[in-house]
Amino acid sequence: MQQDTFNQVYFQFISDIQRDAFEITKEYQPEGITQLEYSILEYLYFFKGKYFSDLCKDLYMSTSQGRRVVKNLTERHYLESVKDDIDGRKKVYHITRKGKAKLDACYFQVMKGVHDKYESLGEEALKNLMECMNYITKTMYKQL
């Protein structure tokens, strides 16, 4: 019974976090980048050298949507692709220096959004929230 309750709360929490992240990161038009473009740049910054299929699968994009966004980012020199050593038909995507600079510029907007959203929380609430997030992060990375 306790495990079922935990599962419900956990999945609701993850869903809420994803929704919250979406709301915070959706305002990138002033920087000339969409939320999905930002997500791809951030993903490739942390997980270097990914196939197009990995981008689509991990970021929940359709193939056509992914092609359009990746083409856009590549044309603006935020991404680069190289042929895979093992299978020359596949391309491996990397973030460029220009893409990293754009990501850094957008990051400050994200942090401002996070600050604005959570500035009303007290010190104790922030401390408890950080402890929970750290615990979840450690648990998730142990299982990888």
Residue type, 112: K
Distance from C-alpha of 92 to C-alpha of 135, rounded to nearest angstrom: 33
- Give the number of C-alpha atoms closer than 13 A to the C-alpha of residue 86, restricted to the C-beta side: 2
| % of the chain surpassing 90 pLDDT | 22
Model pTM?
0.71
pLDDT in tens, 94-144: 999 999 998 888 888 778 878 887 888 888 988 888 888 888 888 876 754
Longest CA–CA separation in the chain, Å: 54
Say whether domain 2-143 belongs to CATH 3.40.50.300.
no
Give the residue extent of every domain in the chain: 2-143
**Strands (DSSP E) found in the chain:** 50-51, 79-83, 91-95
**Which position has the token pair 């402890």?**
131
pLDDT on residue 144: 47
Q: Which of these, 105, 27, 40, lies nearest to 68 by C-alpha position?
A: 40
